[in-house]
Structure 1
Amino acid sequence: MSDNILEEIFIKRSQQKKKTSPLNYKERWFVLTQDKIAYYDFDSDKGKRKGLRGSVDLEKIRCVESVQPEPNSPPERMYAFQVIYDEGPLYIFAKTEDARAQWIKKLKEMVRFNKDLIQKYHPCFWADGLWLCCKQEVKQAMGCKVLDNKNGFTSKPSRRWGSRKPLPPTPTEPLILCMTVMAEYDYTPMTPQDLELRKDEEYTILEMSDQNWWKARDKYGKEGYIPCNYVVEAANGLERFHLRKCLCVVSQNKDGGFLVRDSSKAGKYTVSLFSKGGGETSGSCRHYNICTTTQGQFYLAEKHNFGTIPELINYHQHNAAGMVSRLKYIVSNRARPPSTAGLGYGVWEIDPRYLTFIKELGTGQFGVVKYGKWQGQHDVAIKMIKEGSMSEDDFIEEAKIMMKLRHENLVQLYGVCTKQRPIYIVTEFLSNGCLLTYLREGLTQHPTAVQLLEMCKDVSEGMAYLESQQYIHRDLAARNCLVDGNGSIKVTDFGLSRYVLDDEYTSSAGSKFPVRWSPPEVLLYCKFSSKSDIWAYGVLLWEVYTLGRLPYERLNNTEIVDQVSRGLRLFRPQLANEKVYSIMTSCWLEKADERPTFQELAMTVQDVLYELQ
């Protein structure tokens, strides 16, 4: 067919069977189109394609890479590559190196703008219950080889060759674009390479070779780098109306306040409208699904169809047309600009001379944390790492990857100061401090159900992003979340527990180990995975709904290990209804594989949240 980009007969390995055997390897006819990679049965005698056996949507692909052959592999299984998506790796075996290279190159080109590209991958197979490369026994475990920002990879040097200077990066041609974007926020340049942004002005994007900083040109012809989360594509007017916070929380009692949100059905949208119509004094939220005609047009009210959602919104800003009110005010909970990945383009190693220390915020397991300013004007938090508390060399290398992680519900890592001791970790500063303290002291005595569930939703979305990047937190708890000035929650210290140099912390028998947040497989076998983070999330929900009580407060660590392993679970908090408690208990299932993903949890929490309105 004319819309087929590539097609070829490859061997595919079964994804369903746990044990590998010759019966699990079958020839399939693979077809690559603009939307998906699909595989079919085929008639080898007639050379014809038969029934569809499966497919992967290109937008769901997180990585495409080669796979090292297993020991003693037969010749027909020497040229393997993997397509990593939500359900795991799809293993495909090409007949030649050229065929493999051709498919990998084309797939990488087609998925390079996907939102959930991973930072690390496994270069060897998952076989018989473990990863052959790193011997981890959890299929969802984070990869052990680092990918660069071109979806290729660079190997982490072994400790034995620590003194060996790494090779310089391979020169790559930047991706040249001509996309027009509009600034949502003002941005003041932090480095000579940056470009100033003025809200509501348009800019032309020239390069997107960095996932967080794009090269742009303003209307005067000046060029420089801008933070990509400060702009939206000018043609996509929907972004102006599209928010994720609950309307009842941010509407400020304005009749006709509205926003467009994701529906619980994937790819669909809902208009949430706050109204005081019908004599209501406090007002209420109404939710209208945006429907689609058979011709692909959008409508809220029948007979009023539009080619795009922004056109639909524009019409209903002037006409109620069957709704309780016209759309009067765009609800915005983003008056303050979001954090940038770094303090400017290319800023990674921060000169401590530009840091001003203002006050101490507290002491963590790595040392003192202080509030300060960078260049005298930008709020930052500075962790002063006490010597001997962290495996510093390993962390510094990992931090270069962590700094590229960017989500509105993660505390942003800005950079490090490594030229002196102690080293500093410089992060985003959140004015309301630790979530645990906020629950105990900062909230009102009678928080609303929406307030509590909003907190849980924020954490679930930050963790869903980490999950998509194959990052495991290992120490998720209310004490490791922070609260910003708007009351939004951000997860912090993700992955740092891997670099702790403390026997009491790294052993489940020690008093510092997060026993009260750990599932049976961690307590008994130290098996960490995204599913152990899920368990901890359930405990965090319990902390939120008890306003910061200590889990299993009457038990010591030894008793917790024994009783949780026997089936003990935390009781339902008084503030949690049955639906919220069922979310908690779904996180505490005995079998890790039966627990939900963070993406599923985020959608479930969102649905319960909208029911409250």
Structure 2
Amino acid sequence: MGCNCSSDYSDSDWIENLDEICEHCNCPIPPQSCNPYTDQLIPYHSQHSPPTSPLPDKLVVAIYSYEPNHDGDLGFEKGEKLKIINKDDPEWYLAESLTTGQQGYIPHNFVGMTRVETEPWFIKNISRNEAMRLLLAPGNTQGSYLIRESETTPGSYSLSIRDLDHNTGEGVKHYRIRNMDNGGFYITTRISFNSLKELIQHHSRDADGLCTKLVKPCQSRAPQKPWWQDEWEIPRESLKLEQKLGAGQFGEVWMGVYNNDRRVAIKNLKIGTMSVEAFLAEANMMKNLQHPRLVRLFAVVTQEPIYIVTEYMENGAKFPIKWTAPEAINYGTFSIKSDVWSFGILLTEIVTYGRIPYPGMSNPEVIQNLERGYRMPKPENCPEGLYQVMGMCWKENQDDRPTFEYLRGLLEDFFTATERQYQE
């Protein structure tokens, strides 16, 4: 008789503690449900959101308590139920408290839209690395855990657990939670659960194949509330500079606090760096650039010295310093001409077969040397003409750098001449 296993699994699938394998095809045997009256369940790969038991239409539950900071805010306590009236602003919902009957604006990331989002062990919109950082932070111990949405398998969840290995020390283990076609879940193929809560309850009593049993949900602080949309031009007195993070040609960058309750990054520009009119035109454009992967511009102080208030990245930056133009490093001004600078860096990578730019220098050393006018020397075996092109891309004044159209024509002529030399 042939094999009746599902063929949905591939070699790339990862199942921790896979202990029942079909002898015919090495596929996992579907688990038995906890419910003896339920037929055997076949696992599937959902391409949609996981079954999350949405709350009744327009109702949300507070995941964190919120103290109002502005006129029009609605304060609420953790666990309080609210009715959404309007969601025109994606970050601030107009809502009514079912407890007090009051109406006002609430931060979207302080409430849960589904039942699973209201659970203390669920953390939304975090990566695997962020989960590790949270679980290894003070306040969490062996057995601390969280459930998050899977990064690699849309529509699935992952369980992350803090564990203690006597050989390697403290670390975090990750388990993929698979979906069943009836909305159930399983980790090991021996047993499935009707809900994530049942899964948590079971593994809180017994590790049952996991690295350790689940002890307590991961401690995590409330997220920063969204920036209040009307706070665009703010008074200088509302900002407190606390720690200098860096300095450059165009000014300094500080870690600071806004209104004594929100940590921000503050860039103060040297007087005369640019006109207020030009700055505001640029800032208004940047204000509309909203994306989870972009550092967000919050507000400005328009009287000189100009302040730019942005999102503070507490874990540092993943900024490609060695590829970035000085005005973009120091001021955050990205343009087609800063791309020309980066193109010049790319040329060095091509000539050196992928060598990292500024070999032997750290990022701070690169910044300091650029401010002194340093430029990378001509790479070995680089034609003089091509190095001159690099130098044009690295002009201090961005207006002196060539256009990409000019570079294209120049390089076409350069390679035509080079080919002619080889033919001769």
TM-score normalised by L of structure 2? 0.57
Displacement after TM superposition at 1:259 (Å): 2.6
Q: Give the match's secondary structure for 1:289.
A: strand
Provide the residue aligned with 2:110 in structure 1. Answer: 230
Q: Cα 1:275–1:192, aligned 2, differ >3 Å: closer, same or farther?
A: same
Provide the residue aligned with 2:122 in structure 1. Answer: 241
Mapped partners of 1:431, 1:300: distance in 2:
34
Report matched runs for 1:130-529 at 5 Å. Answer: 178-218=57-97, 219-237=99-117, 240-242=121-123, 243-246=126-129, 249-252=133-136, 254-261=141-148, 262=150, 264-276=152-164, 282=169, 285-302=172-189, 304-332=191-219, 334-335=220-221, 337-342=222-227, 344-357=228-241, 361-385=245-269, 386-389=271-274, 391-402=278-289, 405=290, 407=292, 410-418=294-302, 420-429=303-312, 459=318, 476-477=320-321, 496-498=333-335, 513=341, 518-520=345-347
Q: 1:239-289 deviations in whole A, cap 9, x for unaligned?
A: 742443446554447332223341533333332334448x76835654433
Q: Give the match's secondary structure for 2:288.
A: helix
Displacement after TM superposition at 1:421 (Å): 3.6
Displacement after TM superposition at 1:234 (Å): 4.3
Q: Give the match's secondary structure for 1:519.
A: helix
Displacement after TM superposition at 1:212 (Å): 1.4
Contact kept? 1:341, 1:412, Cα under 8 Å: no
Identity across matched positions, percent: 25
Contact kept? 1:183, 1:199, Cα under 8 Å: yes
Q: 1:522-544 deviations in whole A, cap 9, x for unaligned?
A: 999xxxxxxxxxx99x879x999
Q: Which has the higher contact order (CA 8 A, sep 6+)?
A: 2
Q: Give the match's secondary structure for 1:290.
A: strand
Displacement after TM superposition at 1:478 (Å): 7.9
Q: Give the match's secondary structure for 1:317.
A: helix
Q: Give the match's secondary structure for 1:214.
A: strand
Displacement after TM superposition at 1:210 (Å): 0.7
Contact kept? 2:322, 2:366, Cα under 8 Å: no
Mapped partners of 1:426, 1:383: distance in 2:
7
Provide the residue aligned with 1:36 in structure 2. Answer: none
Structure 2 gap ranges (5+): 1-46, 50-55, 388-424
Displacement after TM superposition at 1:224 (Å): 1.4
TM-score normalised by L of structure 1? 0.41
Mapped partners of 1:318, 1:293: distance in 2:
23
Displacement after TM superposition at 1:401 (Å): 0.5
Displacement after TM superposition at 1:357 (Å): 4.9
Displacement after TM superposition at 1:416 (Å): 1.6
Q: Give the match's secondary structure for 2:141.
A: coil
Larger Rg: 2
Displacement after TM superposition at 1:557 (Å): 3.4
Mapped partners of 1:248, 1:356: distance in 2:
32
Mapped partners of 2:197, 2:295: distance in 1:
32
Structure 1 gap ranges (5+): 1-56, 60-176, 436-458, 460-474, 481-490, 500-504, 525-534, 568-613
Q: 1:202-240 deviations in whole A, cap 9, x for unaligned?
A: 332221101211112222112211221222224234874
Displacement after TM superposition at 1:201 (Å): 3.2
Q: Give the match's secondary structure for 1:199.
A: coil
Mapped partners of 2:313, 2:153: distance in 1:
33
Q: Give the match's secondary structure for 1:363.
A: strand
Contact kept? 1:182, 1:200, Cα under 8 Å: yes
| Partner AA of 2:105 in structure 1 | Y
Q: How many residues align?
A: 312
